[in-house]
Amino acid sequence: MNVRVVGGILDAADKQRLIEGITDLVIEIEGKGNPDFGQYCWVIVDDIEPGMLGVGGKGLSTEDVTRTGWASAVAWVGGRNALGACGRRR
């Protein structure tokens, strides 16, 4: 899984929680609850330079993301935004 975040929002502990949460979700859904499936789940967290990740035609700054309350991570799974439109959870 590739997770792209606007740089400067998540610290190392947040990224670790994100990695663990995504791994748990993949184990639950794709691995049908088998914890051994976790060894096949690679999670890569990419910090994207502010302004280089956009929504609605506008590059997002760190301030945009924190001010709007949008989710700070946009997870791309199979080419789709796993958080849904405008950062709201599906």
Supply 37's token pair.
């499936």
Domain span including residue 31: 2-87
Q: Say which residues have a Cβ less than 8 Å from residue 24's Cβ, sequence separation at least 6.
A: none
DSSP assignment of 18-50, as one string?
HHHHHHHHHHHHTSTT-GGGGGG---EEEEEPT
Q: pLDDT tens across 45-69, in order?
A: 999 898 888 878 888 888 887 776 6
The total domain count for the chain is 1
Q: Is the pTM for the entire model greater than 0.85?
A: no
The pLDDT value given to residue 69: 61
Cα–Cα distance measured from residue 86 to residue 84, given in angstroms and rounded to the nearest whole number: 6
CATH number at residue 44: 3.30.429.10
**6 vs 8: CA distance, rounded Å:** 7
